[in-house]
Amino acid sequence: MLDPPIPGWQADPVSQYRRENRFERIKSQVISPRETAKMALELIRNEGVEAVTIRRLAFELDVKSASLYYHFRNKEEILALAATVALAGIRGAGNPDRPWREWLLENTVRYRRALLVYPDLVPTLMRRHPLHIGTEEHEAAVQLLERQGVPPEIIMPLFDALEALACGSALYTAATPNFDRAAAWEDDFPAMYRVSSLVGLSDDEAFERAARGVIDGLAGGDSE
């Protein structure tokens, strides 16, 4: 959108034409925000979030940087949309007629699984509410839990605790993906070596039990 004219000032017709012509050239290169977000996700997955810059995205998409500024004010807005695309269909997935605890647990497990693919998006998701990431899905989830009789005063604590658990788990798992604790501790830390050698749960199984514990701890232990 062109700037409004300044009262009492007559624009030079040639300059005005050049400005409008430049705007049309930029507009002709504009691509969809979703296409930009998908390219950002590809860069994040392959190279990390540091690779996502306006200049790099413009290069990969074969457009000018100004074309990206047509949709996004800054990198944070690109990452917010990338997170939205990556998590599309996660919150609110599954059969809504299932008991709410099982439905919420399944959603939390799906959410962590998506974060394990894009752990670099976790810092952006920590600010999901001010950035309006997935707000509509959260609204629908709140309505579903209310319909099933979940006390309204525990719904946001449930969401916040499960969000923190999933984000923390994804970051922790991604930080040391190939670390063999038992081998590292065998010589110098016999107690830690002993218990790590006896672990009978996978990371996924341990997370699911922890998430179920959060749900039951906040809502009461008896399943509904």
Q: Per mean pLDDT, which range of 83-97, 137-151, 153-167 is the poorest?
A: 83-97
Please say whether the beta carbons of 27 and 48 come within 8 A: no
Q: Is the pLDDT of residue 87 over 70?
A: yes
Q: Is the pLDDT of residue 121 over 80?
A: yes
**What is the architecture of the domain spanning 26-86?**
Orthogonal Bundle (1.10)
What is the distance between the alpha carbons of residues 164 and 212, in angstroms, rounded to a whole number? Answer: 14
Question: Residue 109 class from Cβ within 10 Å (0-12 exposed, 13-18 middle, 19+ buried)?
Answer: middle
Q: Is the pLDDT of residue 203 over 70?
A: yes
Q: Is 10 or 151 the better-scoring residue by pLDDT?
A: 151
Q: Is 93 or 141 the better-scoring residue by pLDDT?
A: 141
Quick one: fold of 100-219?
A: Tetracycline Repressor; domain 2 (1.10.357)
What whole-number percentage of the chain has pLDDT above 70? Answer: 83
Q: Is the pLDDT of residue 56 over 80?
A: yes
Q: Left, alpha or beta for 149 (phi > 0: left; psi -120 to 50: alpha)? A: left
Structure confidence at residue 157 as a pLDDT band (50, 70, 90): very high
Domain residue ranges of the chain, discontinuous segments joined by +: 26-86, 100-219
What is the pTM for the complete model shown? 0.78
Structure confidence at residue 70 as a pLDDT band (50, 70, 90): confident
